[in-house]
Amino acid sequence: MADSLHQVTIEASPAVVYNAITETQGIQGWWTDTCETALKEGGHCHFWFDNKQTHFTMEATRLLPNQRVFWLCIDGPDEWIGTELWWEISQGSNEHCTLDFKHMNWQRDDGLFPLCNSTWGSLMTQLKHYCETGEANPYFHNLACVS
């Protein structure tokens, strides 16, 4: 099994970071402009990429406001199914927090894993920028959805 691990310090409150990870508008600010997020544990999050040709479904298995978010990939590319996304938000001093991110339980460390690991590093930078400035600039755009 292979795990992708990333950590970033963000000059924002845990609530701002949590909302950026769990709310549709938040995800659209840094990850993909086409998504739907789960409102409660057991709900499903949907993410579209490549002009809506690629679709992922994540089950929200744990949502602890301002602290933790756990998702299980239940639909998408074969290599993603069964992997888990884990977000841990730790309060720092003042308006700083640390975000630890893991994309766990990959069956192998080749195939899509290296590309996804690199992309998650870039996404952490996007997330940091969005949380600190409020400026939306999603990493992925679905051009077919733009008028």
Q: Could you read off the pLDDT tens digit of each residue along the chain, which spans 147 residues?
A: 899 999 999 999 999 999 999 999 999 999 999 999 998 999 999 999 988 899 999 999 999 999 999 999 999 999 999 999 999 999 988 889 999 999 999 999 999 999 999 999 999 999 999 999 999 999 998 754 443
Exposure string (b/e) for 75-85, b if CB count within 10 Å is 16 or more? ebeebbeebbb
Phi, psi of 28 (to 5 degrees): -70, -15
The owner of tokens 């600010």 is: 29
Tell me the pTM.
0.93
By the 8 A CB rule, do 67 and 56 touch? no
Give the domains, in start order, of the chain with CATH numbers. Answer: 2-142 (3.30.530.20)
For residue 32, the SS3 value is strand
